[in-house]
């Protein structure tokens, strides 16, 4: 090395050192979890697993690893302000992505036949508060299933399936930062037991639809054989959120959530609701969406006249081997052939 080059090299070294010293890691803003509290409608009859409340974003490598089972975390997207403009308009003549059998026994042209048809188990459920539905009893329909959350605790999924649970909807998320502590285990075990399974989100009226969609997407796997996602919309008097929005605002917030979830999963979400909420907000609305209706005292045609439906929740007091305590009972609107075709078309 020539002596004349030494000063230049020393000067370059000092400059690089100064740059390195001034380029520290950027500060990361940590979002503060919401103080919202939402509760499932069904109350526990035994010990309840301790809840684990997640943050709105991973805070450490351990938390990132805990969520790694769902795949890559989607890129952040702009959230819709609570009282601001909605990003997507209400649909008017949108194509129906999910066809619904209009009446039991009718086999709609919903797509190709499935070459791998799962066995349908006849229902053996009992009911702590049995209802006489008359000649249009849910017992006359072929494909029964359940929905579960943390309140059911540990479930023997193999036994539950043989009792007649041919499908299950599993509580996944509430609002923008609550994850059901049993969701991951229930999702995995239901899949291992061969149940057709999907996830539902309990919608929280004090958070934006965009936030809630992001939280659901982050926690619920995108699996080819899973059932369509569900948005559970109802008035919850036990929530810390006491807002009762106008019908217009309710529909706007729902639409933001549903559009975002549909884009991610490639399946149109199903809307679950109860009679009072339906009367206030959904009667005559969202005709291009499939519905899952709660009606525990009468057939849905009497409680929701004119509304087509895919699933009917006919009991909140079901009893079954494989589960301690009560469980919600549901039925698909169609026969076995309709069910297989509907699943294949998903």
DSSP notation for 48-99? -PPP-BPPSS--SHHHHHHTGGG-SPPPP-PPPPTTS--SSPPPSS---SS-
Interatomic CA distance for residues 228 and 213, integer angstroms: 14
Burial of residue 248 (CB within 10 Å: 0-12, 13-18, 19+) is exposed
Interatomic CA distance for residues 49 and 219, integer angstroms: 19
Tokens of 337: 């052939």
The active-site residue out of 154, 158, 234, 262 is 234
For CA atoms 248, 100, 232, 128, give the dihedral sign.
positive
Helix (H, G, I), strand (E, B) or coil at 302: helix
Q: Please name which of 95, 105, 42 lies closest in space to residue 332, comparing C-alpha atoms.
A: 105
What is residue 46's DSSP assignment? S
Q: Please name which of 206, 224, 217, 287 lies closest in space to residue 257, comparing C-alpha atoms.
A: 217
Q: Is 336 a catalytic residue?
A: no
What is residue 206's DSSP assignment? T
Interatomic CA distance for residues 302 and 289, integer angstroms: 20
Helix (H, G, I), strand (E, B) or coil at 14: helix
Answer whether 292's CB lies under 8 Å from 271's CB.
yes
Interatomic CA distance for residues 290 and 309, integer angstroms: 6
Active site residues: 234
């Amino acid at each position: 090395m020539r002596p004349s080059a030494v000063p230049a090299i020393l000067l370059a070294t000092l400059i690089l050192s100064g740059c390195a010293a001034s380029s520290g890691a950027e500060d990361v803003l940590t979002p503060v979890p919401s103080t919202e509290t939402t509760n499932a409608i069904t109350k526990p009859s035994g010990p309840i697993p301790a809840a684990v409340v997640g943050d709105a974003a991973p805070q450490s490598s351990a938390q990132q690893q805990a969520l790694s089972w769902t795949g890559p975390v989607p890129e952040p997207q702009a959230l819709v302000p609570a009282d601001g403009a909605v990003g997507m308009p209400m649909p008017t003549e949108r194509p129906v992505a999910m066809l619904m059998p209009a009446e039991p026994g009718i086999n709609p042209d919903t797509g190709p036949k499935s070459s791998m048809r799962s066995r349908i188990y006849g229902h053996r459920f009992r009911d702590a508060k049995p209802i006489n539905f008359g000649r249009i009893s849910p017992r006359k329909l072929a494909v029964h299933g359940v929905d579960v959350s943390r309140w059911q605790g540990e479930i023997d999924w193999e036994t539950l399936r043989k009792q007649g649970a041919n499908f299950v909807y599993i509580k996944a998320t509430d609002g923008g930062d609550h994850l059901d502590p049993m969701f991951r285990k229930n999702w995995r075990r239901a899949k291992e037991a061969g149940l057709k399974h999907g996830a539902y989100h309990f919608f929280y009226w004090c958070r934006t639809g965009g936030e809630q969609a992001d939280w659901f997407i982050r926690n619920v796997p995108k699996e080819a054989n899973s059932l369509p996602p569900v948005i559970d919309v109802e008035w919850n008097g036990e929530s810390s959120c006491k807002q009762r929005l106008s019908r217009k605002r309710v529909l706007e917030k729902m639409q933001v959530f549903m559009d975002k979830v549909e884009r991610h999963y490639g399946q149109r979400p199903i809307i679950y609701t109860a009679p009072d909420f339906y009367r206030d907000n959904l009667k005559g609305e969202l005709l291009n969406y499939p519905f899952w209706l709660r009606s525990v005292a009468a057939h849905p045609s009497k409680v929701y006249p004119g509304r087509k439906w895919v699933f009917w929740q006919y009991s909140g007091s079901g009893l079954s081997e494989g589960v301690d305590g009560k469980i919600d009972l549901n039925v698909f609107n169609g026969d076995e052939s309709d069910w297989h075709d509907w699943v294949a078309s998903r």
